[in-house]
Each structure stands twice: as structure tokens, then as C-alpha cells.
Amino acid sequence: MRLNSTEQILAAARALEQGALVGFPTETVYGLGADAENINAVANIYQAKGRPSNHPVIVHVAPEADISYWVQEIPAPAQALIDAFWPGPLTLILKRAEHIPDAVSGGQDSIGIRCPSHPVAQALLRAFKDGKGGVAAPSANKFGHVSPTKAEHVIEEFPAEIANGMIAAVLDGGQSDVGIESTIVDMSRLATHGPVLLRPGHITALQLEQVLGMAVNAPDQAAPRASGTLEAHYAPSTPVAMVAVEDLESTVNQLLIVGKRVAVMAYQPHSANAQLQGWRQLNPDPISYAHDLYADLRELDHVGADIILVEALPVGREWQGVADRLRRAAFDSQGVLERLLIN
């Protein structure tokens, strides 16, 4: 059931304290939360999602939380990012305090931590353990699927877990404002690697660099594992392929000729639109694009198409977060197209 009153948020906080899971909104996407210090509860997140046990989750804390409880130290550059962007869509990777179970970090000595800005998330975090706890929460979807940006997406993903009580509640905070997952920055190896951008998001590399006064580096082979960084991820059940604007119409026509059912996400309609299974108009603004992306993919996943074609993105650092998600959703673009055109 979907909840958001003060009493229902308090009930959800008590459910978390008792070891249950709770779906809740953040400004990025909806999360599937558990008490970050309850190993069994965290294990239930992995079970519900079908998530590999070595894939870390992010700990969400209230604005007033004592971050030093969770980490060994907060370097000055990390504190600068906290001051600039929290509460907000930024996750920091820091060295995990020894008393914090490694279940939240996939066995690593680091921890991902953030403070969300969504009012329902903040109310839940303040009610949970009187604001002194942390809620481990990856996105509230089956592992590798499109992340949820509405409460109904969460309910759609986990009917069995809601029915059997593993998920005690799904709090409803409306559609997520940002629409893609938080930016993740590794600040755990500053002395040797500097700040490392593990996952781009709403907060851009340029914004980070302006605060830090130094370059933000690309991931290296020794970087900590982080949420949402596998090559294939964020994908609907329907295959997705990215297509350059100059090739889009001809690709649609080729697929229609061989009898394939096609859905398209593009900036402008094309001549074959009347023959499509579904079509969504893309927003040329990267912030609005991100806000709509997952909801659009989910809608087109239900129209009975054989493939979802997405018109290629503009070039620019401001598009980095959206480009990252679409690259993973359309990981095998060329292979998908070749197989559909042959068969």
C-alpha cells in the first residue's frame, strides 16, 4: 500500500527498526530501504532485488546525522562537497568505520553515504532511530532493471515481496524530481588518486571541480565498486538501441519492413510515427530529459515493441549523467539491431 502521512511515515520507520524493508522516495529515484546496521535486513534487500552480494548499497542519513559515526574520517575536500551539495543527489565514498558491517559495502573497506533532499525521505530518516540511524537503500527495482521514479513503479516490481510482508510499506512522494541516480564520488583515496567520479549524475563533474578547486578523475581499475556501474544496467525488458539522428528514420523503416514492432524516443516525430508501437518526445534540456527518462522507458516497455530506439544524445558534460544511464541500458545496441534485422 502507498503511504505518506505523518503517522504512516512513523509506522514505516518502526517497520525499518523491526527489520522490514520499506520503499521510499528520494529526489533521484525511489529506494528500497533497510536498517543499514541490521545484517539480516540488508541481506533481504539483496534477496528481494536479486542483487549480487558484492555490489555495495548506499547508506542514507538525515540532515542532522553525525557522519563521523559511519566513516573513519571526513577529509576537508569531502566536507566541502557535503557543505555544497547536501542534502542532495551526491553520494560520497569514504573509508568505512570499523563497527559498521561490511554488508552495506559489498565486503569493501569503504562506504557510500548520502543525505537526500526529498521531504518524505528526510521525514523517514528523522523518524528512524530518532534520526541517528542509517537506511541502506539501492534503487527499488529488480537488479539491472530501470530504476523507479514513482511509487507505482516500486509496487509493479515487487508484488510478491509486498504481499508476503518483506516490504512493509511503499511511501509515496510523487515522481522523483531528478529522475536518475545520485552522482557518486570516491573520496576514500585522495592522497593517491584524488577525487574520482564513479557515477555521473545530476551534479556534474564541472560543479564538483568548482567546489573542490581540482580536477575530478575518471575511475581506475582499483577504484571501489559502486552502485549502478556495471556495463549493462538500468534496462527495460524490451531491448534498447541508441541510433544517430541521421540514421533514425532509415533504421525504423528497415525494422518495419521486416515486420518488427518499434517504439521510439526522439526529439521530433518522423514520417513513420503512425506505424510505431509507441513514441515519446525527448526534451532537449538535460535536466528535463533525466526527469522523464526512466518513466518513458517503463511506459514503452509495456507497448509490445520488439525494440526501443533512442535518438542519440547531444554532446556535452551536462549530458554525462543521462548518457551514462542510456549507454548501460543500450549496452548491446549494434548486436540487438543486427539480430532483429536478420531474424
- Confidence check: pLDDT of 3 > 90: no
- Give the containing element (helix H, strand E) for 299: helix 286-300
User: Residue 79 is placed in which grid cell?
Assistant: 566536507
pLDDT, tens only, 241-269:
999 999 999 999 999 999 999 999 999 88
Burial class of residue 294, CB neighbours in 10 A (0-12, 13-18, 19+): buried
Cell numbers 527489520: residue:
19
Confidence of residue 66 (pLDDT cuts 50, 70, 90): very high
* Average confidence (pLDDT) over 74-78: 98
**C-alpha distance from residue 145 to each of 85, 186, 230, 239 (Å):** 28, 24, 12, 12
Confidence of residue 278 (pLDDT cuts 50, 70, 90): very high
* Average confidence (pLDDT) over 311-336: 89
Q: How far apart are CA 232 and CA 218, in angstroms?
A: 19
Instruction: Answer whether 271's CB lies under 8 Å from 253's CB.
Output: no
Q: How far apart are CA 185 and CA 268, in angstroms?
A: 35
* pLDDT for res 2: 54
pLDDT, tens only, 177-235:
999 999 999 999 999 999 999 999 999 999 999 999 999 999 998 999 887 666 667 78
Q: How far apart are CA 47 and CA 40, in angstroms?
A: 10
pLDDT, tens only, 164-181:
999 999 999 999 999 999
* pLDDT for res 181: 96
* pLDDT for res 53: 85
* pLDDT for res 1: 46
Phi, psi of 58 (to 5 degrees): -105, 135
Residue 263 is which amino acid? Answer: A
| Residue in 223, 226, 177, 178 with CA at minimum distance from that of residue 203 | 178
| Mean pLDDT score of the chain | 94
pLDDT, tens only, 95-132:
999 999 999 999 999 999 999 999 999 999 999 999 99
Q: How far apart are CA 242 and CA 312, in angstroms?
A: 6
Q: How far apart are CA 340 and CA 232, in angstroms?
A: 19
Number of Cβ within 10 Å of residue 129's Cβ equals: 16
* pLDDT for res 161: 96
| Residue in 28, 23, 27, 25 with CA at minimum distance from that of residue 321 | 28
- Which of 136-150, 266-280, 293-307 is least confident? 266-280
Q: How far apart are CA 124 and CA 6, in angstroms?
A: 9
Instruction: Answer whether 141's CB lies under 8 Å from 49's CB.
Output: yes
Q: How far apart are CA 235 and CA 45, in angstroms?
A: 19
| Cis before 314? omega within 30 | no
Instruction: Answer whether 2's CB lies under 8 Å from 140's CB.
Output: no
User: Residue 82 is placed in which grid cell?
Assistant: 557535503
